[in-house]
Structure 1
Amino acid sequence: MKIHISIFYKTNWGQNVCIKTSFCQKICLKTKDGLTWFADLDIIEKEFNYHYFVEENNATIHSEPSLCHSIELSSSNSHTTIQDEWFDATYSKVFSSSAFTKCFLPIVDEKKSSQHKIYVSALPPQAGKWALCSNIIDNWQKPILLKHIRACEWIFDVPSFVEQFEYKIVLVKKRHIIWEEGENRSFHINHNLSTIQHICPRLNYALWKGAGIVIPVFSLRSEQSWGVGDFGDLEKLVKWSAKCAIKLIQILPINDTDSTHTWRDSYPYSGISVFALHPLYTNCNGLGSPQLRHKFEHERKLLNKKKFMDYEASYNCKIRFLKELYKEERLNIIKSDSYQDFITRNAYWLHPYAAFKYLCNKYQSPHYDTWEKIWQNYDKEKFDEYTKDSPAVQDEITFYYFIQYILHQQLLQVKERAQQLHMVLKGDLPIGVSKYSVETWTNPTLFYTYSQAGAPPDAFAIKGQNWGFPTYNWPEMEKDQYEWWKKRLQHMNQYFDAFRIDHVLGFFRIWEIPYQQIEGILGYFRPACPYTVSEIKNFGFHFDPTCHTNATLYPTYVKQHPELIPYLTQIGQYYQLKEDVSTQRKVYENVKSETLRNELLNCVTEVLFIRDSQNANLYHPRIDGQKTMQFANLSQSQQEAYNQLYNIFFYYRHNDFWGKEAMKKLPAITQASRMLACAEDLGMIPDCVQPTLNELEILTLEIQRMPKQYGIPIANTQQYPYLSVCSIDTHDMAPLRLWWKENQTAAQYIWKSILKQDTQAPPQINPQIAKAIICDHLNSPSMLCIISMQDYLALFSKLKTISPEEEQINIPANPHHYWKYRMPINIEELENTPYYASIIASLILQSNR
């Protein structure tokens, strides 16, 4: 196929326009006037994918998105002429995600089409559809909708009987037509060759925006629930959400967390497997014989009457049901082709998962370091040898496979239903795994199990957070280009078209807490560049490792707390803790009195620096060190020196370093799937985070009560970036009703500054205020506005059947929180009362989402 390709691009002297093709070929174009660039090519492929870029001194100075032009070449002509326009698009990665191409704006196959075509490169508009008006089609009066064939590309097939015509690209919004600017375009046909134009609309327009809802699966409630939400309830939520004009459903992690068989396993971010789904979410309705379901019906109804999830009762009930179902259906299912295909495709994680579950039951503990030595490290061959002559063990292993197969089929069905309704299912990628999990058991070199991941202190947890997860050995993961992460993303992509990157800051640096400590306040960032002694002294600080890295108490404090004296050693003018209470873990082990223990835990934090665990000659300033007694007892000049080294360390020293760390990991991980990537980037945010996420086209998270602009109490939703997710709160925060009740000062600020009211803010939120706040978020520039179920329900006074306190899903300051919230209304009641959906839909549609 011979192609003559041309593009209009004004260059300066010394600049060249080139093409990069999908087969990595660089083609330099020619020009006679520095304006029109062209080339004559011989192409043997049926499809020609390419993009333009501009070079100067052998360096690229301007480029289109990679391979943004894709032309299907006609076989009926041996010659084709392509007339291109430069596509200067941003966000092309976002719009190429499966969230858009399979759900929000599904593409159609470019089947047999005319040999003459007009390709229109454009970003999806906020409202309306791309169309073409022409003098040959009802004399400009009838717009013809363009076919959406690729992420940012639409097509018009030119009728073969036409010789030439004029046209313009338009946006059609219901009965309203918005015309592109400039002169009419013209198309001339030579029937001896194929003619292709590739154009961009000359039109300023708002980009696509959508609305979503977020709720954990366990929080769903339907008439058929077993005391906990499941994948059947999730499918019902999909159907109801479509009536609300909601385009996305976000859920919390759904991986198996069951290790102790107690309510402590309700914590969804502490998975024992990053692949296995939680049996708790099995939709048991419709499975097995009527007799089997009838046997459990009374227990199911009792569980479903409960206000909150009873994790242990619901989990045990479902496991008993599944065991009986396994006896009924085992032979039929395991012989099926789909089951065998599932086992073959997922053997790499199914086998170790099932072995881990079996051994946990055998030893009544997930702590594999207490198992018999033969099993303390995963060995597939040894385990297969062990199970070979034991039908009972083989049967238990098959039972775990059986459950995962059912869950897999059910979740695929939910995703399929969502896609049919042009809706996205958004999953959650937890930053950590349980210390005692399949992952640490099978891949011990990928984790530092002697340290704990968490978060530094903030307004929600003044002592920081200790999640108890091991931290990652990133250098080891880098050796195979983060294959473990890639498999996670590829596995998730089966079920989701978008995902939330939990604590994306962990890919820049993680808050690491030494194992001997318990509270997050005694952590530090890893990786980091801790100070040497000489660097600390260069700030003018009189550094004394003996004093400043050990808990140091002063006589006035000890005098007020004489009960501490048995645990202290006097050193000159101050006191330090004795060895048996020198760390927080030792305090927990050696002090029985809760009151005394809490006092000593606070004493352990009385340090200005923390010694690095990997190099004892390096030191991290303790987070919030200015709040210690040690700092208060420094001279003013020493306080100023400490403040200077502290501010440089936490806000400047690591920016480039952490940005480079993230760019090693995030591109490899996010490119492993076609899901839309959304970050959770809250907390202590380094300056390098925003530009890194922008470059990778990862959506940020914007929360009004956690402004990212320094010095303002409440963020302005109208100033959010387009490439973001806008939410009122997260599962770690008080929902809207509770937040308003507990934060009257902030509520008054919103009442006056955002809602423009002059009176005193009401002490309790009402549906009118909830509506105003939700609308303020829906009208933000953010691509996605995702509101929690609790906040949507605040629109309806009838549905306030539980207290605001009971709506909060998690309290981050409490590491032993019971995750048990359930929505106070059945999905069927929402479905059968059209008023609820109509109110939500009207708010969303009025905001042009």
Structure 2
Amino acid sequence: MKATFKIHYETQFGQQLAVVGSIAALGKGVDEEALEMNYLGGGTWIAEVDLSKTRAKSFSYNYILFDKSNGIKYKEAGTPRVVELNKKFKNIILQDAWNPYHEVSNAYDTAAFDVIFNTNAPKVKAPKGSTKNATYCFEVNVPRINSDYVAKVVGSTDELGNWDIEKALPMAYDSDRNVWTVTTPIQKSHHKLKYKYVLVNTADKKAAPELEGGFDHVYDIIENDPKTFVKFSDHRFAYDRHNWKGMGVALPVFSLRTDNGLGVGEFLDIKELVDWSTETGMRLVQILPVNDTMATYTWVDSYPYASVSVYALHPLYINLEAIGELKDKKKMTKLKKLKKTLNALDTVDYEAVMNAKMDYLREIWSEKKASFLKSAKVKAFIKEQGEWLLPYAAFCYFRDKYKTPDFTKFEDFAVYDAKKVAKLFDTKSKIKDDVNFYVFVQYHLHAQLLEASEYAQSKGVVLKGDIPIGIYRFSADAWTAPHLYNMNGQAGAPPDDFAVNGQNWGFPTYDWDTMKEDNYAWWTSRMTHLSQYFQTFRIDHILGFFRIWEIPIDSVQGLLGQFRPAIPLHLSEFENRGVQFDFDRFCTPYIREHFLGEYFGYDTDWVKNEFLEQKWDGAYNFKAKFDSQVKIQEYFNGIKPKDDEDKARLEAIRDGLYSLHNEVLLIPALGYTDGMHYAPRVTMDKSRTFAELSPAQKHHFHELYIDYFFKRQETLWAAQAMEKLPAIKEATNMLICGEDLGMVPDCVPGVMTELEILSLEIQRMPKDPTIAFGHPGNYPYESVASPSSHDMSTVRGWWTEDRGDTQRFYNEILGNWGEAPMECEPWIAEQVLQQHLYADSMWCIFPLQDMLAIDAEIRREDPEDERINVPAIKHHYWRYRMHLSCKELIEQKNFNNKLKGLITASGRNTKF
């Protein structure tokens, strides 16, 4: 038996096509052992392999392209092709089409579109044909198909209907490989076989069939040999219609308001938001991270991006009644009264909600613990999730015992020991009930989020999650695997319009070199876990996979950070430009008498005496006990203000001292200790120390600054992302969107396109630094279009922030004449909505607040009450709630019909 591989691929000089597969003749899955193909000209490649010694009943394979000029190899997308071996055939001809890795329509093969198109629904029996004569197999991927439709093949032979679609040959759906397939005989000999695939509606006979666009598929038949089996793997149905586009709503789970919740949105409340989404023609619900953030048991834990476990879910979102009622009727009555009080609040009272929920959970645990671990479902859950679940439960026990998440204070358990932790759960353990309490809570959270996710899928609505870029410094993750993180650094983001001093998240950065050793198993595990609940997700700060902004451990603000990895500036680069390097002038805080008064006013003398020491006349250094921002922070934390006025005064002085620490031009480069390598301070041109350089020095520093931040790093950063992101992407079949906002390197769009990761397009944060606003008409298809995010003010809130920006936006982007209204009127909000709906973006996702803005009767009176987060405030209270319940929103028929009409008219409510 012999197999012949044929494929059309236009290569360039130095490129070699090969076949890699599961059998020895194809390298047994090892790329370097793949079977090289021969080039016949005209883009045609061919290879033959002897299968006579192959004992396997089938084999799988795909193609790979080696670029010998640069050593890069390019793989195909999708699952490998599969060939069943039948001894009656002497020859197998495999006529294939290359599956591009960065093709737009690959997104349709993800879990998100399994939900939207319901691709697992079709169950069609294709005609088997005669076993003697069935020598032609047709196979095609048809991701964009509704459950009412089936795929058929029509062509130039009797068996294929002689181009009569009513006589086209039905195909069967193979759910294991997501392809439609049929095997048929072709009795008559033909010089050329021509065919196309067609989609036919089986539920509505009057519906027009959808025939493939483009040229016919053509195959040259040399002879019709019954001993030769021919298989056509045609990659993907060629649609003769526009790309599919959808609409979604974004809202944190805690912001949901229902009658069922306890003063906060809960996982089961997602079902009501899904119901409203289906009412209005939306196909996606996007939420913020839902991992456990309980570290301090205060409102500070409301920040959803500092989880104590990347696996565990937050008890904030649990529905208590779904677990069961307490036997104590008085306590149940008390809970119902509290529920009524908390549900009436405008915002989330995080501490009251958490106290009530944790008290109830402990009460019901005491009633159910005897039978809990005996359940078969519980045993299965622990077996499946135990690797993270048991360490997390132990961490929570110690966190509560020692009143801190700082695991270095866990005494005998300060250093994680898996064997010691396992003993805590033993039947003889004195604290087994205490640690299993957290297993109990996680089991029910898992069940409730899974229920909400499955409900959304049953309604054809995709659930989109959010993955924080970092981990909390004192988390179960850092406790169990500290070697995966750089605990002596802090992750953050450089300055932008919303945080002029940068952002310091306080998270440790990742040790990517260590993670690479096991092919990023930690990330693979994390993604796999999330895929239980979500079909698509947003990677928070995807730029961190290219390079992370790492801030010194003794900094409070983010200005003294630098990118890691990065190619630093060398001393010689200054000297080559005629700049004499002066460490004291360039690298230590530039503090001079003549501008201290501008910072501290009447408190200048006190500041000089308390915090500074004279270096020479008119110049100062910080005293040793105040030589970092953290030391200054600790000093002011120890002062109790007399009143609000004194508090404001002290904060202004503290922030002024922070600013003095930022008065440097260069920072010693991370990873270098030779005193020869430096990174420029970000936004140095806005500093006093830069302003007081000579004109020539300013010019040279500016040139080096531009080179460092915008030129020399591009190749390095692209390579970093291409190393990490494919492992994360390939871990699951979820659709990925990257939050690529802020200081975006030029290499980012190309890498995201290559990896089919959707970009995020926010109108007020355009990727092009030369323009003030993005226009949805210019967005790429592989993107998510949105007017704002949870880190920004709503459209209505932004409208009153800067009159000049508002006027420009009103005239230049919305195309209106005259003076802009003082407030964002409903008709303006509707213009913004419509503009986004007609974007080319695959998804248009609007925060709920920006949707409600189009209706004066139902939108909130004060837009400031709709803000979720203010990034410039390090400890912001995340507590926004809908002012309407989901049920009330569903009852707003006029608004819902209008919204559905706008969505449908834009083409964002089609079946496929």
C-alpha displacement at 1:423, in angstroms?
2.5
| Structure 1 counterpart of 2:559 | 521
Contact 1:714 1:746 in 2 (8 A): no
Match of 2:119 among 106, 113, 118: 106
Q: What does 1:455-534 correspond to in 2, within 5 Å?
A: 455-534=493-572
Deviations 1:160-215 (A, max 9, x none): 79879975445679945565355697999987776544446666543222222211
Could you tell me which runs of 5 or more consecutive residues in structure 1 were left unpaired when the two chains were aligned.
none
- What's the CA shift for 1:493? 1.6
Q: Which residue, out of 273, 276, 283, partners 1:240? A: 276
Q: How does 1:703-782 map to 2 (within 5 A)?
A: 703-782=762-841
Partner deviation per Cα, 1:502-521 (whole Å, 9 max, x = no partner): 11111121111212221111
The residue aligned with 2:31 is none
Pair 1:19–1:67, CA change in 2 (3 A): farther
Instruction: Check if 1:819 corresponds to 2:819.
Output: no
Q: 1:67 to 1:607 in 2, by over 3 A?
A: closer
Does residue 609 (structure 1) correspond to residue 666 (structure 2)? The answer is yes
The superposition leaves residues 545-579 of structure 1 with CA deviations (integer Å, 9 ceiling, x where unpaired) of 11222212223214655423313314245333222
Per-residue CA deviations over 1:794-819 (Å, capped at 9, x if unaligned) read 23222223411111111000001000
Change (3 A) 1:138 1:654: closer
What is the rounded CA distance, in whole Å, between the counterparts of 1:431 and 1:183 in structure 2?
47
Q: Deviations over 1:456-496 (max 9, x none)?
A: 11100111111111222222323333222222112112221
* Aligned-pair CA distance for 1:27: 4.8
Q: Post-superposition shift, 1:76?
A: 10
**AA in 1 matched with 2:354:** Y
Amino acid at match of 1:760: E
User: d(CA) in 1 for partners of 2:356 and 2:324?
Assistant: 15
User: 2 CA distance for matches of 1:414 and 1:496?
Assistant: 10
Matches within 5 A, 1:244-323: 244-289=280-325, 293-323=332-362
The alpha-carbon deviation at position 104 of structure 1 amounts to 4.1
The question of whether the paired residues in 2 share the 8 Å contact of 1:799 and 1:824 is answered with no
| C-alpha distance in 2 between matches for 1:32 and 1:432 | 51
Query: Does structure 2 retain, via aligned residues, the 8 Å contact 1:50–1:67?
Result: no
| Counterpart residue type for residue 221 of structure 1 | R
Unmatched tracts of structure 2, length 5 or more: 28-33, 129-133, 640-649
Q: Distance in 1 between matches of 2:851 and 2:170?
A: 35
SS of match in other structure, 2:320: coil
Aligned to 1:365: 404
Counterpart position of 1:644: 703
Determine whether 1:208 maps to 2:244. yes
Instruction: Give a deviation string over 1:236-258, Cα, whole Å, max 9, x none.
Output: 22233223222222111111101
Question: Among residues 192, 211, 218, which one is paired with 2:254 in the alignment?
Answer: 218
Distance 1:758 1:126, change over 3 A: farther
1:425 aligns with: 463
Counterpart residue number, 1:348: 387
- Cα shift at 1:731: 0.7
SS at match of 1:725: strand
1:430–1:9: structure 2 CA closer, same or farther, 3 Å change rule?
Answer: closer
- Aligned letter for 2:95? D
Q: Deviations over 1:721-760 (max 9, x none)?
A: 2222222111101112112232433333332233322122
Is the Cα–Cα contact under 8 Å of residues 49 and 68 in structure 1 kept in the other structure? no
Could you tell me which of 565, 571, 574 is aligned with 2:608?
A: 565
Q: Superposed, which structure 2 residues align to 1:52-91 within 5 Å?
A: 52=63, 65-66=76-77, 70-71=81-82, 73=84, 78=89, 82=93, 84=95, 86-87=97-98, 89=100, 90-91=103-104
- 1:322/1:207 Cα in 2 relative to 1: closer, same or farther (>3 Å)? same
- CA positional deviation for 1:445: 2.1
CA displacement at 1:62 relative to structure 2:
10
- The one-letter code of the counterpart of 1:216 is P
**Residue of structure 1 equivalent to 2:180:** 155
> Match for residue 635 of structure 2?
590
For residues 615 and 405 of structure 2, the distance between their equivalents in structure 1, rounded to whole angstroms, comes to 43
| Count of residues paired in the alignment | 848
TM-score normalized by the length of structure 2: 0.84
Partner residue, 1:831 = 890
Is the CA contact (8 Å cut-off) linking 1:288 and 1:329 kept in structure 2?
no
**2:322 is paired with a residue of what secondary structure?**
coil
- AA aligned to 1:252 is L
* Partner Cα separation in structure 1 for residue 896 and residue 186 of structure 2: 49
Structure 2 residue 140 is the aligned partner of structure 1 residue 120: yes
Tell me by how many angstroms 1:137 deviates: 8.8
Matched with 2:492 is 454
2:451 match: 413
RMSD: 3.6
How far off its partner does 1:407 sit? 0.8
User: More deviation in 430-439 or 146-155?
Assistant: 146-155
Mark the CA change 1:266 to 1:166 in structure 2 (over 3 Å): closer, same or farther. same
**d(CA) in 2 for partners of 1:684, 1:666:** 19
The offset of 1:542, in angstroms, is 3.0
Q: Which residue pairs with 2:646 in the alignment?
A: none
Aligned residue for 1:786?
A: 845
Note the C-alpha offset of 1:290: 7.3
Alpha-carbon distance in 1 for matches of 2:734, 2:490:
29
Q: Distance in 2 between matches of 1:471 and 1:56?
A: 34
* Cα distance between partner residues in 2 of 1:731 and 1:262: 21
Question: Cα–Cα, structure 1 residues 35 and 629, in superposed 2: closer, same or farther, change >3 Å?
Answer: closer
SS in 2 for 1:462: coil
SS in 2 for 1:522: coil
- The answer to whether the 8 A contact 1:21-1:51 is kept is yes
Q: 1:76 to 1:762 in 2, by over 3 A?
A: farther
Q: Please say if residues 123 and 152 of structure 1, whose CA atoms lie closer than 8 Å, have aligned partners that are also in contact.
A: no
The percent identity for this pair of structures is 36
CA distance 1:127–1:323, shift in 2 (3 Å): closer
Q: Find the aligned partners of 1:437 and 1:377 in 2 and give their Cα distance.
A: 13
Cα distance in 2 for partners of 1:91, 1:196 equals: 26
Distance, in Å, in 2 between the alignment partners of 1:283 and 1:12 is: 60
Q: Normalized against structure 1, the TM-score is what?
A: 0.90
CA distance in 1, matches of 2:179, 2:887: 39
**What one-letter code is carried by the residue in structure 2 that aligns with 1:308?**
T
Q: Is the deviation greater in 25-34 or in 202-211?
A: 25-34
Write the letter of the residue equivalent to 1:224.
N
How far is the alpha carbon of 1:331 from its aligned partner? 3.0
- Asked if the contact 1:125/1:208 (under 8 Å) is kept, the reply is no
Give the residue type in structure 1 aligned to 2:360: F
Shift of 1:51: 3.8
Matches within 5 A, 1:191-206: 196-199=231-234, 205-206=241-242
Q: Deviations over 1:365-395 (max 9, x none)?
A: 22233343x2221223334556769865211
The CA deviation string for residues 624-665 of structure 1, in whole angstroms up to 9 with x for no partner, is: 111222111111111111111111111112212222222222
Determine the C-alpha separation between the residues in 1 that align with 2:443 and 2:179.
39
CA distance, structure 2, for counterparts of residue 839 and residue 229 of structure 1: 26
| Correspondence 1:436 to 2:493 | no
Which of residues 369, 376, 379 is equivalent to 1:337? Answer: 376
User: 5 Å matches for 1:386-405?
Assistant: 393-405=431-443
| CA drift at 1:399 | 0.8
